[in-house]
Structure 1
Amino acid sequence: MPNYDVHLLSGIVTYPLAVFIAFMIRDYAGIPFVLSTAAMVIGYALYVLGSDLPDMDHPNALIHRGTKPIVAVAVGSAVFVQSVDSVHLGEPWLNITAAWGIGALAAFVAWFAFTWIMPRHRGIVHSLLFAAVYGLLGYALVEFGLGMSTGEALFVGFAAFSGYTLHLLLDREVSLL
């Protein structure tokens, strides 16, 4: 099976093929991809990330060890944002510090929960279903998070899905679930 370097380098060098396929799909299948510079740059990042992302279900994989702190920080930050207006202990600095304490506790729990909830290696995370979920997340990031056009979001979602699928092809284990 390919290792970390092979997966990521494959993503780095095959992205032009994904861009070519997107142009062909746009021009011949009528999918309204918008391949703006910004969409292609974001698409490249998500394509390359996706080329190793299925291995996040392996606790010793570098992508697992890299994804875990990002998830923990995202959870902790989200809990802080949701709780900061609900903490009323007196001074503003005390309220903010306490809200960050709650967020840090949530991040601590998320750190361990990330590994605990991961399915077995080469399970459902190594599937086209998760490739589609990753593509939808890429789409949502661009459409709703960054406020870019629907066509740009469609392209980024396609790029994310394609990078994730590249990993499955390299592993020679493509499954629906």
Structure 2
Amino acid sequence: MPNYDAHVLSGVVTYPLVVAIAGFLSSKGVPFELSTMALVIGYTLYVLGADLPDMDHPNALIHRGTKPIVSVLVGGATYINLAGSINVGEQWLNTAVAWGIAVAAALVAWYAFTWMMPKHRGIVHSLLFAAVYGALAFLLVEYGLDMASGEGLYVGFAAFSGYVLHLLLDREVSLL
């Protein structure tokens, strides 16, 4: 099975093929918008997707890189939701207590991330998860970045394609 370098470098070098396919589909009526920003975001999520299915392996670089990001995001989101609602005294103490609770949530997320991951080459190595990744990319672009729907569709397609590239390289393409 290919390693990290093989997956990521395959994503790096095959992206022009995805651009060509999207351009062809666009010429046939698929409403992709291949703006410069969509192409750059698409490239990023395509290459990330080329290794993302291995996040279910605790020793994989993508797993070790994703776990702290998830933990920090959970901690940050917890703080944002608590800020202003903690009242144990002075403002500096309220802020420190809110961050203490946020750090506890981040620690829970740290350990839950690995605990909740299914077995390696399980459901995360599936077309279902490729579709979920593509849908999340679309939502990020259209609603998170407030870009055009056609740009979101293209980025979702690129993300999905990168994820599928990983599955093809592993020679393990399954629906679920």
TM-score by length of 1: 0.97
The corresponding residue for 2:17 is 17
1:160 alignment partner in structure 2:
159
Cα distance in 1 between the residues matched to 2:147 and 2:94: 35
CA distance in 2, matches of 1:142, 1:114: 25
Structure 1 residue 115 and structure 2 residue 120: aligned? Answer: no
CA deviation profile, 1:91-127 (whole Å, cap 9, x unmatched): 2222222211111110100000000000000000000
Q: Partner of 1:126 in structure 2?
A: 125
Please name the residue that 2:49 is paired with. 50
Structure 1 residue 88 displacement after superposition: 1.4
Structure 2 counterpart of 1:107, which letter?
A
How far did 1:172 drift?
0.4
Comparing 136-145 with 116-125, which one deviates more in the overlay? Answer: 136-145
The percent identity for this pair of structures is: 70
Q: Which amino acid aligns with 2:80?
A: V
Which whole-Å deviations, capped at 9, do the CAs of 1:127-158 have from their partners, x for residues lacking one? 00000000011011111111111111111101
CA distance in 2, matches of 1:91, 1:149: 45
- The number of aligned residues is 176
Q: Gapped runs of 5+ residues in structure 1?
A: none
Once the 2 structures are TM-superposed, how far is the Cα of residue 43 of structure 1 from its aligned partner?
Answer: 0.7
How far is 1:89 from its partner? 1.9
**Is 1:2 matched up with 2:22?**
no
Unpaired stretches in structure 2, ≥5 consecutive residues: none
Tell me, in whole angstroms, the C-alpha distance in 2 between the residues paired with 1:40 and 1:89. 49
